[in-house]
Amino acid sequence: MFHKEGIAIIFTAFLVTAALIISIDYFEIKYGLPVQIFLIIMLVLILQFFRNPKITINTNENYILSPVDGKVVIIEEVFEPEFFNDKRLQVSVFMSPLNVHVTRYPMDGSIIYSKYHPGKYLVAWHPKSSTKNERTTIVLENKKFGKVLYRQIAGALAKRIVNYAKVGQEAIQGKDAGFIKFGSRVDLYLPIGTNVNVKLNEVVKGGITIISSK
């Protein structure tokens, strides 16, 4: 099963790959076989990137779930300047090109802020990527956790962030919140003192792994 954001890219990649493989055979191009193998590998990687497997959401009002698949690369107190203008607990998840790149709502709640920022394409682990790269910032609010911010961040390869969150709508925990095409990282900003259930370098699953619990 593939994500809807990848259908056009997959279709185009399939047509181009098929056309090139047939052309290589027809014109008997030298070293054609290695090129054909390379094209097939690239197509498989594109299919891998846009996959959207069915999962059972770990729904619970007492949980903040990981919004994406990947590895926890940051857990620290930082100053959040865009929305809160005070200190928050940042938990960041880095996605490799082989991870599922669907972004999911980490909790139920009202969407009270959603803003897109154009920017650079620094590597996702760069310290300034969360403020300099192309990104979207979304804030959810509920009675259990208060206001929680998550930020989709483009990386060196990401060229488009898709964000479905609109102010005034209700977020449903684990449902699709967007997609980062060929990128990269999502930051969560939690209230100071929030209990964190994950550790640095831990591999997490979007909609399944518990980042925080009450």
Tens of pLDDT, residue by residue over 165-207, are 999 999 999 999 999 876 688 999 999 999 999 999 999 999 9
How confident is the model at residue 182, as a pLDDT?
Answer: 65
| Contact indicator for 152, 188 with CB cutoff of 8 Å | no
What b/e readout covers 38-53, taking b as 16+ CB neighbours within 10 angstroms?
ebeeebeebeebbebe
Look over the chain and give the mean of its residue pLDDT values, rounded to a whole number. 89
Residues near 178 by beta carbon (within 8 Å), at least 6 away in sequence: 102, 103, 136, 152, 161, 162, 163, 164, 165
| Annotation says 130 is catalytic | no
How confident is the model at residue 157, as a pLDDT?
Answer: 60
Q: Classify residue 32 by its DSSP letter.
A: H
Instruction: Single out the catalytic residue among 66, 114, 129, 184.
Output: 184
Looking at the predicted structure, is the pLDDT value of residue 151 above 80?
Answer: yes
pTM value is: 0.85
- Residues of the chain above pLDDT 90, percent: 63
Residues near 20 by beta carbon (within 8 Å), at least 6 away in sequence: 35, 36, 39
Looking at the predicted structure, is the pLDDT value of residue 23 above 70?
Answer: yes
- For residues 96 and 69, what is the distance between their CA atoms, to the nearest angstrom? 9
How confident is the model at residue 156, as a pLDDT?
Answer: 59
| Contact indicator for 136, 117 with CB cutoff of 8 Å | yes
Domain boundaries, the chain: 4-49, 63-213
Cβ burial, residue 170 (10 Å; 0-12/13-18/19+): exposed
Average pLDDT over residues 97-123: 88
Find tokens 């699953």 and name the residue. Answer: 205
> Is the domain covering 63-213 a CATH 2.70.70 domain?
yes
| Structure-token pair, residue 174 | 């684990």
- For residues 182 and 157, what is the distance between their CA atoms, to the nearest angstrom? 5
Model confidence over 53-108: pLDDT tens digits?
889 999 999 999 999 999 999 999 999 999 999 999 999 999 887 888 899 999 99
